[in-house]
Amino acid sequence: MSWHTPLGAQLTDAKQYIRWLEIYVDTGDIVGVGEDQYKNIPLAAYLYRLMSDPVVQMQVLTSPIRAQVFYSQVGQFIIDCVHFTRFGMQRSWTEMRDAQKVMHIPTHDQETFQSLLQRIDDDHRQDGFDRDFFEKLMAGGGLQHPENWEKLQRDWVGAIDERLRTESEEHIKARSDAFEQGMNRLMEMADGYVASHGIPMQQALQAWNLMNGQWTESEFERRMNVVRLQDRYPDIPKIVNLMGRKPDSSGREHLTADRGQQMKIEHSAGSDIEGITIGNDLNALLPSEVALFADQRMGDLFMQRYLTHRLQLFRYRSELTTPARKLSFIAASRRGPMIVCVDTSASMYGTPQRITQSLLSLLEQTAERLGRDCFLIDFSVGIRPIDLIQRRKQQRWQRLGMTKEDANFDLGAIPFIGGGTDARNMMDQMFELLDTEGSAYVNADVLWVTDFMIPTPPPDYLKRMAALKDTGTRFYGLEITTEDVPHDWAPHFNRIFKIRYRPVRKY
């Protein structure tokens, strides 16, 4: 089924609605949804009313766990409404196809016209179709004028759209009250449970993101058992805090410039605009943001966007330059890119797998909160590279009920491949990320999560790793093991952390 009238496209644009929801949950801004602009789009109009409710705004902006429940519940409501409307479009496909063929009817005689007019009137009398108008329009020689048939075609398509709009509106009205009551009840349950059990909000959010988007105390506690491994093994949060640096004049850490490293310069000409970004550089404001600043009524909104680095800015091509590889220390902050290489061989089953899951949960949350790039390479006999932030978004969308028709994506997970461990394929992928000119991962910090029972690769691999280490890349290791097993990897890393665990014995 494929027909795309402007109204039909808006009624079923799931990704657009979800983007509005994400912005609202992150910033409190109602972006893209306007009471007047979208008053004829039932779902957009409903979202505007819901997001404008002061009680809803207070709950979403003051409690992160309530905000996540709100995102999950409203997201599922959006997908349900979109799928309902899309099903209506599928039911109307034959009729829409016939409407598109009106101009190509072999004979435009009175009998054919009256039969067609009766059909349309029977189906769309309540959708604004005016039969009397077309009776008069086609009287006399009106049947011979192509523009009259074009008018009939437009009004027929418009009537089909109006029926879809009305059905969508009635579907929302029938479900909205029960939906909002259920959502408020879930928000109270989740927030109350977290508060009464003294659970740190950061850990509560990690546990929620490991769930399927539905609140149950038993499932939440099961996920909290994974998150609480960070308390049992404090090296997990310590590693996450070490990972990722980027150039920053106010930073206290240091970073060396590397081949392909993107370095910002302070000034750039206005003639080399490359695109639009966000930040708080007042020298690069879009005219719309300048107008916002000049409006006294909007001053508070401007200051909020400035303080949260959400102003829309011009991005200039000359802000980027690519120096040769060299040792040159500059200030850095811990907001840079990260690469995580996870051993998924058979020896990492069980407890190591749960420790890895806890680490990745914290790493993903940190990267998303700070807007950092984070790439995963899982490896054993083969590899699978995954953009962790993109995978997190895809999994979140899947929990809302989005299908490939709603958003074109392939879901990612971390399957434990089993078998032996060969680091060469993983290191090839790692080197490609670190060495590709213009890559977001040049000078990234790299973490290997493994038991280090890995055969030593050929010498040229280790030399290349040493060269990257000398010019700014930091390599960390997390060794998860039941006992101290000697290996030769330590000299190639800046630091290897070790977690020893006791294997579960089954009798």
Q: Of 310-319, 405-414, 489-498, where does mean pLDDT reach its minimum?
A: 405-414
Q: CB within 8 A of 317, min separation 6: which ones?
A: 268, 272, 273, 274
Q: What are phi and psi of 35, to 5 degrees?
A: -60, -40
Residue 459 CA to residue 455 CA, distance in Å, equals 12
Distance CA 329, CA 245 (A): 12
Range with the poorest average pLDDT among 4-8, 99-103, 118-122: 4-8
pLDDT over threshold 60, residue 2: no
CB 335 within 8 A of CB 246: yes
Could you read off the pLDDT of 463-478 as tens digits, one per residue? 999 999 887 789 999 9
Secondary element (H or E) of residue 182: helix 146-196
Q: Are the CB atoms for 75 and 400 separated by under 8 Å?
A: yes
CA distance 382 to 242: 28
Which residues fall within 8 angstroms of residue 102, CB to CB, at 6 or more apart?
116, 149, 152, 153, 156
The mean pLDDT of 326-333, rounded to a whole number, is 51
Q: How far is CA 195 from CA 66, 67, 187, 400, in A?
A: 12, 15, 12, 26
**pLDDT per position as a tens digit, 146-181:** 888 889 888 888 888 888 889 999 999 999 999 999
- Whether the CB-CB separation of 417 and 378 falls below 8 Å is answered with yes
pLDDT the model gives residue 344: 87
Return d(Cα 351, Cα 501) in angstroms, integer. Answer: 8
Going by pLDDT thresholds of 50, 70 and 90, the confidence category of residue 270 is very low
Query: What percentage of the chain exceeds 90 in pLDDT?
Result: 31
Q: What is the mean pLDDT of the chain?
A: 81
pLDDT in tens, 172-221: 999 999 999 999 999 999 999 999 999 999 999 999 988 887 888 999 99
Q: How far apart are CA 456 and CA 459, in angstroms?
A: 8
- What is the structure's pLDDT at 223? 94
pLDDT for 131 = 87
Band the pLDDT of 69: cuts 50, 70, 90: very high
Q: Give the per-residue pLDDT at 285.
A: 82
DSSP letter string, 233-272: -THHHHHHHHS--EE-TT-SEEEE--TT-----S---TT-
Q: Evaluate if residue 326 carries a pLDDT over 60.
A: no
Give the number of C-alpha atoms closer than 13 A to the C-alpha of residue 34, restricted to the C-beta side.
Answer: 3
